[in-house]
Structure 1
């Protein structure tokens, strides 16, 4: 059985750690096809607690020492965001398969370096914990889109404002809500899964204009409220709205093509397909709007958990970890290849850069310019640790 090492045993690291035991933090979130043999953290108290809970664990305070120990076959990285690319590069150079928590990094500049090392080591499995790619509703949406079920994308609207976080959430750690500690706010910490799904379903836009509100309704340095408009190369457009201070919030995704529409909200997926393709509609016949027969006709299919199945939060993490292990063993293909992580990160960076510079940003972004602007924020940040590199 594959010997797994884990770097970082904060909240999510602890979730992953206990998923390898018979007492996971999340009910039924078991990883059955690998064995956790080692953990690494700079906090000695966390290491002591881990050793009490799993006495067989090897413990390390230096991740490089763990990677060089010969005691792990593969490693999961669940440390602060800034460290993800550095630790990923070290693992790949040591020929050790690696699975990185979201986001893959804070700025594209060093994630491109990570991807370059990955390309030089193609036989070393590099995955990301984008566990929402296992969500049955988004899997179904992807299937419909890939089968040309909505046709050419015209419009994407996603309002996801149910990331409510009180001030106490930010006050629990000096690194939270800071440029030097987290490298961003709702885009970097809460919404990366949805931003990954956005590009996974729609592809990458070519232009971004965003309005990020920093510290809106919360005493933090970073963005807590975002509205972004994007344009796609084939003429489609999109709007993405997210926040951490709306209560109750909304999570509604609309994907509209020239031949159909998908809506996901409240654990329901509605798929409406035009019975007559848009390019064959008789526009003169629809002039009389009072006659329902003259309106475009469609058929609707409704999917719920009953039809698609239910994967509770936390169990998705375990499924993604098991997929990564099976990929290492040659049994499956990765749900979320590591090199794809830069796409979601580029969207995040472009939205922030658009606000920093107060202008529209063309993709691909200037990664050096983003890094320069981010470092200006970090220099003034209240968090003074050494994570940012």
Structure 2
């Protein structure tokens, strides 16, 4: 195989980022087809990336025998069905997080992936491909902080994006705060701690925008998790961060601590004036993780060319979804949830 021909479904904000990478930045990759239910997006994408094929029907794109792989960047509620159909048609499949919004359907996807062992499946947990998060994993593996016993994660979206998110959430099922936002942190916790969640207690509320409560969601929420090795997880997620996009992770071990992203700096330039010392902050996830999005796409293409499987597996998606869904249940029912007994819904 000289190159991998890819069909991209979903042309929203993240789809645009993936499209730029697949079209221009990934060696031995050809963005060959694009798909969106919005015809104008398809037309614009074909012109922007010089793509020969455009579709408003996912099933029609899957009938294109020139393609080798499908790259899914559609809304979360479509992921499971699109993964299964892509695999059944014989394609390698990359899918953005989350794997799905309901445990029953992600179990179906897990079974589908396991039935197609000769095909590459990869889930978009891009933080594993960020240099800072990779460096932290290497330090943990070398024992530099001893045994990790606690992980603390902040995932805060910019307040400037609240209106856009609410408009999206009213038209699409986002899965709620914990499944939509904390899923990356849950994956990191499992990765760093080498353990699965056993119990969770989650709380939250709508503090500045009551629309979140009307959607059965939280504007800001927190979860405390016990893992099966007795390690502790503290997770905070919110959609109303005044200073920008704030992603922070701390891993506390028996012999030291690692912190990643304590200040969400845009760059190394610091302004000092009558307002104090000012660090400009990143304003969105694409800006913060631009390099990681490219790196994960490169890994997907290399796995296909080299005939190997990525480190991120379907099981990572299932277990992170299980924890996210348990947090959602705890938040809704106001009770402590045993993660292994979470309802298949």
Q: TM-score range by the shorter chain?
A: 0.7 to 0.9
| Equivalent position SS for 1:36 | strand
Asked if 1:193 is matched to 2:193, the reply is: no
Q: C-alpha displacement at 1:314, in angstroms? A: 1.8
Moved more, 241-250 or 322-331: 241-250
Change (3 A) 1:344 1:40: same
Q: Is the 8 A contact 2:120 2:309 kept in 1?
A: no
1:35–1:341 distance in 2 versus 1, CA, 3 Å: same
Q: Is 2:156 aligned against 1:164?
A: no
**Relative to 1, partners in 2 of residues 1:192 and 1:164: Cα closer, same or farther, differing over 3 Å?**
farther
More helix as a share of residues: 2
Q: Tell me the residue number matched to 1:384.
A: none
After superposition, residues 94-133 of structure 1 pair within 5 angstroms as 94-133=89-128
Partner of 2:260: 264
How many residues end up aligned between the 2 structures?
315
Which residue is equivalent to 1:234? 229
1:339 partnered with 2:315: yes
| 3-state SS of 2:297 partner | helix
Paired residue secondary structure (2:137): helix
Partner of 1:364: 340
Number of the residue aligned with 2:84: 89
1:8 aligned partner: 10
2:323 and 2:224 mapped to 1: Cα distance?
Answer: 11
Change (3 A) 1:253 1:88: same
Q: For 1:209 and 1:327, locate their aligned partners in 2 and report how far apart those are by CA, in whole Å.
A: 38
Does the 8 Å CA contact 2:181/2:237 hold for their aligned counterparts?
no
Q: In the alignment, what sits opposite 1:245?
A: 240
Alignment deviations for residues 46-85 of structure 1 (CA, whole Å, 9 cap, x no partner): 1121232244421122212211221211010111101101
Matches within 5 A, 1:1-389: 1-22=3-24, 30-161=25-156, 163-170=158-165, 173=167, 176-178=168-170, 181-202=172-193, 203-213=195-205, 215-218=206-209, 219-220=211-212, 221=215, 222-248=217-243, 251-266=247-262, 313-330=289-306, 333-368=309-344, 371=345
Say whether the 8 Å CA contact 1:20–1:31 is kept in structure 2: yes
Q: Is the 8 A contact 1:91 1:98 kept in 2?
A: yes
Partners in 1 of 2:326 and 2:333 — Cα distance?
10
CA distance in structure 2 between the aligned counterparts of 1:252 and 1:17, rounded to whole angstroms: 27
1:244 counterpart SS class: strand
- The answer on whether the counterparts of 1:40 and 1:47 sit within 8 Å (CA) in structure 2 is yes
Q: Equivalent residue of 1:329, what SS?
A: helix
Label 1:51 to 1:253 Cα distance change in 2 as closer, same or farther (>3 A). Answer: closer
Which 5+ residue runs of structure 2 have no aligned equivalent?
Answer: 265-286
1:134 is displaced (CA, Å) by 1.1
Residues 365 and 79 of structure 1: is their aligned pair in 2 closer, same or farther, counting only changes over 3 Å? farther
Q: Which runs of 4+ in 1 moved over 4 A?
A: none
CA distance in 2, matches of 1:337, 1:19: 22
Shift of 1:116: 0.4
In structure 2, distance between residues paired with 1:119 and 1:88: 12
CA distance in 1, matches of 2:247, 2:35: 36
Q: Deviations over 1:4-57 (max 9, x none)?
A: 1111112211222222344xxxxxxx2222001111111111112123224442
Distance 2:303 2:122 in 1: 9
Q: Which has the higher strand share?
A: 2
Per the TM alignment, residue 225 of structure 1 is displaced from its structure 2 partner at its CA by 0.8
Deviations 1:303-332 (A, max 9, x none): xxxxxxxx9632321211111011011166
Shift of 1:187: 2.7
TM-score by length of 2: 0.83
Q: Write out per-residue CA displacement over residues 247-282 of structure 1, whole angstroms, 9 at most, x where no aligned residue.
A: 2375432222223322223479xxxxxxxxxxxxxx
Question: Distance in 1 between the 2:21 and 2:26 partners?
Answer: 6
**Between Structure 1 and Structure 2, whose CA radius of gyration is higher?**
1
Counterpart in the other structure of 1:304: none
Moved more, 189-198 or 85-94: 189-198
